[in-house]
Amino acid sequence: MSFDRPVNRIAVIGTGVIGASWATYFLARGFDVVATDPAPGAEEKLREFVAGNWDTVTRIGLEPGASVDRLSFTPVMGDAVAGADFVQENAPERPEFKINLFAEIDEAAPVDALIASSSSGITMSVIQSACVHPERTVIGHPVNPPHLMPLVEVVGGGKTGPEAVDAALAFYASIGKRPILLMKELPGHAVNRLQSALYREVVDLIDQGVLSVADADDAVSWGPGLRWGVMGQSMLWHLGGGEGGIQHFMDHLMGPLVDSWPSLRTPVVTNELKQTIVDGVLEEAGGRSIDELEQLRDEMLLGLLAIRARADSTEAIPS
């Protein structure tokens, strides 16, 4: 089955942290968006989020005709997906819940509309297990906040058609996202496994008393994290290998790196350790609210995205 249905109208299922951000992005890209969420006050919260972040997406650039007025809301999920060309699901991260919700979405959505789940870690084989038309269901996992972060992980389940995976990749690319294909599905997909591997070590270094919470954050964000905003780790090792590049790195530096792996530990996360992290983060935040910190994050992300867009378009590192 092919999935070349033109996308004009997108249904956003669940309008919490991720759904509200996706809705803002889809509106900015010039789509009609119909959102649904059963929580009391969900529509008001969504409209407030979209209005509050419209300036941010405007700075990235709006498609002609993009407007907050093209957002509609219904508490009835079936009404939201009935006329949708593409569905982005963002409901709570519980396997049984997603299985039932996907069965309902599948029943109500046009049979050639792609249905993507933002799930952070549940595989599509699980989520699609009660669908009648599972061939059009995919994981389209964004990084928070999706109205700013370009990456989307795409992977199908055992019953997903390869055409659906291709169509999802093409769709996300066409709206300015940076989709990557996972050639196999696994719990946590890829991005959260990477974050998990790093955070396990952050927590262990705090647990061992090697670093304070603030210094562990600095060790990431003022060190390799700055480079990771520009290039991935394997490409960075290519530069780390000097004139010999990645081959030199593999010949001379990969060995010591691999030798260090057995010393990496899985810390026991006690309540005391959790409290140490909570206290450390609040001290680091220094009284700044979540809103203030989000604004700071978004402002810096916008700057970095602008520099990356410039570098991509000229294929040169800006001076």
Ligand X SMILES: NC(=O)c1ccc[n+]([C@@H]2O[C@H](COP(=O)([O-])OP(=O)(O)OC[C@H]3O[C@@H](n4cnc5c(N)ncnc54)[C@H](O)[C@@H]3O)[C@@H](O)[C@H]2O)c1
DSSP code for 229: T
Q: Could you say which of 5, 16, 70, 103 contacts ligand X (CB under 6 A)?
A: 16
User: Least Å distance between CB 176 and ligand X?
Assistant: 18
Six token digits for residue 183? 């050639």
Within residues 270-289, the interface with ligand X by CB under 6 A covers none
Asked if 118 touches ligand X (CB under 6 A), the answer is yes
Using the contact rule CB under 6 A, the part of the chain among 12-20, 51-59, 167-175, 281-289 near ligand X is: 12-20
Write down the least CB distance from residue 239 to ligand X, Å. 30
DSSP string of 276-313, one letter each residue: HHHHHHHHHHTT--HHHHHHHHHHHHHHHHHHHHHHHH
Least distance (Å) between residue 263 CB and ligand X: 30
Among 24, 53, 56, 119, binds ligand X (CB under 6 A): 119
Shorter beta-carbon distance to ligand X: residue 34 or 205: 34
Span near ligand X by CB under 6 A; candidates 26-34, 114-122, 225-233, 261-269: 114-122
Expressed in percent and rounded to 5, the helix, strand and coil fractions of the chain are 55, 10, 35
In angstroms, give the least distance from the CB of 179 to ligand X: 14
CB 105 to ligand X: min, Å: 9
Closest CA to 73 of 126, 34, 105: 34
What does residue 139 show for φ and ψ, rounded to 5 degrees? -85, 130
Return the residue matching tokens 């409901």.
Answer: 91
For position 15 contacting ligand X by CB under 6 A, the verdict is yes
- Nearest 10 degrees: CA dihedral of 123, 127, 133, 138? -40
Q: Specify the 3-state DSSP secondary structure of 269.
A: coil
Q: Closest distance between ligand X and the C-beta of residue 73, in Å?
A: 12
Pair of tokens at residue 232 = 């991935």
How many residues interact with ligand X (rule CB under 6 A)?
24
Q: Which of 10, 13, 50, 213 is close enough to bind ligand X by CB under 6 A? A: 13
* φ, ψ (nearest 5 deg) of residue 189: 50, -135
Q: Could you write out the DSSP letters of every residue in 107-140? A: HHS-TTSEEEE--SS--HHHHTTT-SSGGGEEEE
Q: Is 76 in the site for ligand X (CB under 6 A)?
A: no
Residue among 19 and 161 whose Cβ is closer to ligand X: 19
CB nearer to ligand X: give 24 or 36.
36
Give me the residues that bind ligand X (CB under 6 A), please: 13-19, 36-39, 42, 77, 90-93, 101, 118-120, 141-142, 144
